[in-house]
Amino acid sequence: MSLRTFVVPLLLGVLTLAVMPSASLAAECPALLQGELPKLRAKERIDLCSQFAGKPLVVVNTASFCGFTPQFKGLEALYQRYKGQGLQVLGVPSDDFKQESGDAEETATVCFVNYGVTFSMSETQIVTGAQAIPLFKELAAQSQAPRWNFAKYVVDRQGKVVASFSSRTQPDDPELIAAVEKAIASAP
């Protein structure tokens, strides 16, 4: 038996095993969480599936220069209150309503310095219309597209939207809190 007839099948087997977990993970990932977003003020990317799959999640389209921008404070408080129970929050800045800076550093300053945000924030994205990123296309398919900045989507552990809320709904609103608690209680 030659070395080649032994090594080649062995290497193929190892490569197959190395690829299979990734393929099965992608197959198990809900449609809502398939994809990546560039992280705000970082070189890393947010892998939606690996970071949020199986976890309750609140997704918010944000803007730095909107009357609702102070909701960052309430969103951070919501995150701090429930992160021990697995809650994740994802802020997605958008200029769809012409109230976001074109400068990522300025956006980061508003979020991280002015409001002390510690939850995940992406770089500015399109969240409405035909050019919306896949995450927001799926959110719209499961509920509705954002009509303004700071629309909030509560997602359960299976990647399904359990409730959506308008910009006017504050992060400490009892209905939003109830939806978050329902998402936390959902089975993975």
C-alpha–C-alpha distance, residues 130 and 128, integer Å? 7
C-alpha–C-alpha distance, residues 50 and 175, integer Å? 28
Mean pLDDT (10-residue bins), the chain, 188 residues:
52 44 58 97 95 98 97 99 98 98 95 98 98 98 97 98 98 99 94
pLDDT at res. 82: 98
Give the residue numbers marked as catalytic: 66
pLDDT at res. 109: 97
C-alpha–C-alpha distance, residues 96 and 128, integer Å? 7
What topology is assigned to 30-185 in CATH?
Glutaredoxin (3.40.30)
Pick the closest to residue 120 from 143, 99, 89 (CA basis): 89
